[in-house]
Chains A and B, each alone.
Chain A
Amino acid sequence: QQQVKQSPQSLIVQKGGISIINCAYENTAFDYFPWYQQFPGKGPALLIAIRPDVSEKKEGRFTISFNKSAKQFSLHIMDSQPGDSATYFCAASIEGSQGNLIFGKGTKLSVKP
Chain B
Amino acid sequence: DAGVIQSPRHEVTEMGQEVTLRCKPISGHNSLFWYRQTMMRGLELLIYFNNNVPIDDSGMPEDRFSAKMPNASFSTLKIQPSEPRDSAVYFCASSLALGGGFYEQYFGPGTRLTVT
Contact = CB atoms under 8 A, between A and B. Distances in A.
User: How many interface residues does chain A have, given as a range?
Assistant: 20 to 34
Contacts of A104: 42
A43 B93 contact: yes
Interface size classification for chain B? 20 to 34
B56 A100 contact: yes
B42 A106 contact: yes
B107 A44 contact: yes
A69 interface: no
22 contacts: A34-B102, A34-B104, A41-B109, A43-B107, A44-B107, A45-B106, A46-B104, A49-B104, A51-B102, A96-B101, A98-B50, A99-B95, A99-B97, A100-B45, A100-B48, A100-B55, A101-B45, A102-B45, A103-B43, A103-B45, A104-B42, A106-B43
Interface of B: 4, 31, 33, 42-43, 45, 48, 50, 55-56, 91, 93, 95-97, 99-110
Interface of A: 32, 34, 41-46, 49, 51, 89, 93, 95-96, 98-106
